Amino acid sequence: MYGFDASGDVTGYEVLSHAETPGLGARMNEWFRSDEGNRSVIGHNPGSENMTVVKDGGIIDAITAATISSRAFLESTHGAYDAFVAYKKYRNE
């Protein structure tokens, strides 16, 4: 679940469920809001920034030893953003 401000910047998120390995991909609920390195998605805009993992040319550090989980997390960020944009368009029509 993601929150966006009016301009589309991520204001927060919560992982509601997952089936990840404890200690690896399961760390996504904390990892992507950390101020350490380039981990945080908070304050970034999926519509104007390359919010993919660094390994793929993006700006976000993947969880160590859990690149696939990190990619999936960031794909869900883009999916939520797309839904946000569609809702804004619907509300403005």
Please name the residues in contact with 83: beta carbons below 8 A apart, sequence gap of 6 or more.
none
pLDDT of residue 16: 84
Give the pTM: 0.89
- 24 vs 60 pLDDT, higher one: 60
Q: Which amino acid is present at 4?
A: F
Please check the confidence at residue 20 and state whether its pLDDT lies above 80.
Answer: no
- In 10-91, which ranges are E strands? 10-13
Please check the confidence at residue 21 and state whether its pLDDT lies above 90.
Answer: no
Q: Which of 39, 36, 30, 34 is nearest to 62 (CA)?
A: 39
Please check the confidence at residue 93 and state whether its pLDDT lies above 80.
Answer: no
pLDDT of residue 65: 86
The average pLDDT across 21-41 equals: 87
pLDDT of residue 19: 75
Extract the tokens encoding 8: 């589309």
